[in-house]
Structure 1
Amino acid sequence: MVGRESWTFQEIAFKAEMNRHEDKEAEEEAFILCGEDPATTARNIVELRNMIYERGECHPHRLDDAYLLRFLRARRSVPARAHRLLVRYNNFRDQNPHLWRDIDWFGLTKLGHVFEGVLYDRPDVGRLIIGRLGLWDPDEFPVDDLIRGCLLLLEIGIMQPKLQVLGGTALLDCQGLTMKHMRQFSPSIAIQAMNVMGFAFPTHQRGFHVINCSRVFETLFHFFKRLAPVDDLWKRVHFHGNDLNSLHKHIDPECLPKRYGGQRDPISLAKWLTKIHQYKNKDFDDEMRNLGYSVD
């Protein structure tokens, strides 16, 4: 019976990934987490849209209210900050079309368990996304596919108003990571990865945690950090070595997979994309096509 209940919960959660409706009950969370006040939201959207027209620093593929709102939510509802993020996001897309254009999004199921998620979204953690780079075989697919997979997770996730508000927490598990892996991370790849972390993506980044990492990786990380812009994001990066107790001080075990001393069963990118493909609709296809992805 427990197994059946778990299966039913998962199916409900997968179907909810297609939810594009604003939840009135989430207004308090939006105010606390994103500084969003229903009395000023419409005015902030208009101000952001006017900035786009007047400054001409970017040319977004969408300018509707729902689209601009995700950038405001990612920057505490401050139009000027949201505009800077929008410019970064569009510049990133313009400079890296190979990460989106004509990519078969469903084909990224090949990444398997390299990326996982926990479909247990709480206000203090948001959506937990896990990267297990040690499971990646550089001989099987290029490092660009890692960036593509992470971007895909974010692009699909950020379509949900709920996740725009709750944001997400990233957990990078370095177990099994070797020099063969690390040699793939050139400065340009590192900059792309840091842009995905939050510098150039409209996500409410709650924290970035690194577990099972060696001193070599930590040193390499801090070297690449110098290439990135100064940002408050760095205050939310935490290295835990092999210490699960340290990790638990930041992420409640209730939200973590069992392998990290938690209570959850994570969902692989392969399974998640398979379920997205199962429950997707015309609106989803249109959104993906507008982003540049190949849609069947």
Structure 2
Amino acid sequence: MLFVQHKRNKLRMSSTSSFQEIAFKAELDRHVDPECEHQARILCGEDPTTRVAVVEELRNIIYKRGECHPPRMDDAFLLRFLRARHFILARAHRLMVRYCKFREQNLHLWRDVYWYGLTRLGNIFEGVLFDRPDVGRLIICRLGKWDPDILPVEDIIRGCLLFLEVGIMQPKLQVLGGTAMIDCAGIGMKHVRQLTPSIATQAMNVMGITFPIHQRGVHVVNCSRLFEKLFNVFKRLAPSEDIWKKVYFHGYDYDSLHRYIDPECLPKRYGGRREPVSLKEWLTKIKYYKNKQFDEDLRTLGYAIDE
């Protein structure tokens, strides 16, 4: 009986491992399948028959107004901004301007940063490779796992940015968007002292104000009332109130979290059914499966790559 159970467990582990390996390979997939086209219509207001013309119109607006100088102007790059703003040209252009301005003002967050070197962040960031239309990609920041004595706070922002920049290369994630979780377990005063207004502003910009991703929500868990009040102080720094409408505090109540995120999408530690993937493991697999196009895309954005 024990032998049979052991065999079943091995098969289950093998099946999970195989699924994750397929998911890792798909992280660099630029293919748009029929299901993605269908979801793009529903979630992004995208019409395949007019897509090329709308992209060209956005390009013309950027050139005509001259308010920003994007690192790329190809169709694939511009398309992610349109998808993030429901194919509304004016909103997509404003997002592009904010994105470029943020890059210009925070060059230290990516210029000459060796992307694979951010594996040093270990499991501070995690992702769940189970993307659904109602949740998108779930990204988790476990702030308590960060040691400020070893890693500068800027590395936290760099890690989040890289997670997003690489993820958004996938058309599927451009369409589905993402959901963020901030796990405050283990946070102490040495962490709080690092959260200056400048860092808070950078974090809010990355979470959705300047980045071309459909932000579905930010969920804060394992958070005391004191820390919730600290978050509320940061509201004054946000240029738009819209971002705060999507921030939810759950304290230590996972049942509250489950009302917004199906346990099917969550790691087991939050009452879910999934195995999370650390930033370190994810980047290691990306490096293994990456191609010349990936290198060129990151080089264009300013990251240092393998020579």
If the TM-score is normalised by the length of the shorter chain, which range does it land in? over 0.9
**Cα separation, 1, equivalents of 2:282 and 2:240:** 34
Question: Following the alignment from structure 2 to structure 1, what is the Cα–Cα distance between the partners of residues 300 and 41?
Answer: 30
1:232 deviates by 2.2
The 5-angstrom pairing of residues 164-183 of structure 1 reads 164-183=174-193
Matched, 1:234 2:264: no
Q: SS state of the match for residue 137, structure 2?
A: strand
Would you say the 8 A contact 1:29–1:165 is kept in 2?
Answer: yes
CA RMSD of aligned residues (A): 0.8
1:131 match: secondary structure: strand
Measured after TM superposition, the shift of residue 6 of structure 1 is: 1.1
**Distance in structure 1 (CA, Å) of the matches to 2:118 and 2:200:** 20
Q: Structure 1 residues 24-33 or 96-105, which shifts more? A: 24-33
Q: Secondary structure at the match of 2:230?
A: helix
Secondary structure, counterpart of 1:59 in structure 2: coil
AA partner of residue 116 (structure 2): F
Q: CA-to-partner distance for each residue in 1:198-229, whole Å, 9 max, x for gaps?
A: 00000111111000111221111111111111
Distance 2:165 2:208 in 1: 12
Matches within 5 A, 1:1-296: 1-296=11-306
Deviation at 1:26, TM superposition (A): 1.5
In structure 2, C-alpha distance between the alignment counterparts of 1:170 and 1:237, rounded to whole Å: 9
Task: Give the superposition deviation at 1:246.
Answer: 0.4
Which structure has the bigger radius of gyration? 2
Number of equivalent positions: 296
Q: What SS class does the counterpart of residue 22 from structure 1 fall into?
A: coil
> Once the 2 structures are TM-superposed, how far is the Cα of residue 162 of structure 1 from its aligned partner?
0.5
Q: Give the SS at the match of 1:103.
A: coil
Q: Is the 8 A contact 1:170 1:208 kept in 2?
A: yes
Q: Tell me the amino acid that sits aligned with residue 39 of structure 1.
A: T
Residue 8 of structure 2: aligned partner: none
Residues 77-108 of structure 1, C-alpha deviations (whole Å, 9 max, x = no match): 10110000000000000000000001011111
CA contact (8 A) 1:44 1:78 kept: no
SS of residue paired to 2:237: coil
Distance in 2 (alpha carbons) for counterparts of 1:282 and 1:46:
26
- Distance in structure 2 (CA, Å) of the matches to 1:233 and 1:192: 13
CA contact (8 A) 1:127 1:169 kept: yes
1:257 and 1:265 in contact (8 A); partners too: yes
Runs of 4+ aligned structure 1 residues displaced above 4 Å come to none
SS in 2 for 1:60: coil
From the superposition, tell whether residues 40 and 234 of structure 1 become closer, same or farther in structure 2 (CA, over 3 Å): farther
Distance in 2, matches of 1:63 and 1:113, equals 34
Measured in 2, the distance between the counterparts of 1:290 and 1:187 equals 29
Deviation at 1:37? Answer: 1.5
Q: Which amino acid aligns with 1:98?
A: H
Gaps of 5+ in 1: none
Task: Indicate conservation of the 8 Å contact 1:171/1:210, yes or no.
Answer: yes
The structural deviation recorded for 1:167 is 0.6
Q: Distance in 2 between matches of 1:268 and 1:174?
A: 17
Structure 2 segments unaligned to the other structure (5+ residues):
1-10
Q: Which residue of 1 aligns with 2:3?
A: none
Give the secondary-structure state (helix, strand or coil) at the position aligned to 1:141. coil
1:153-192 Cα offsets, whole Å, 9 max, x none, are 0000000000000110001000001111011011010000
* Identity fraction in percent: 68
CA distance in 2, matches of 1:198, 1:231: 12
Aligned counterparts of 2:164 and 2:269: Cα–Cα separation in 1: 24
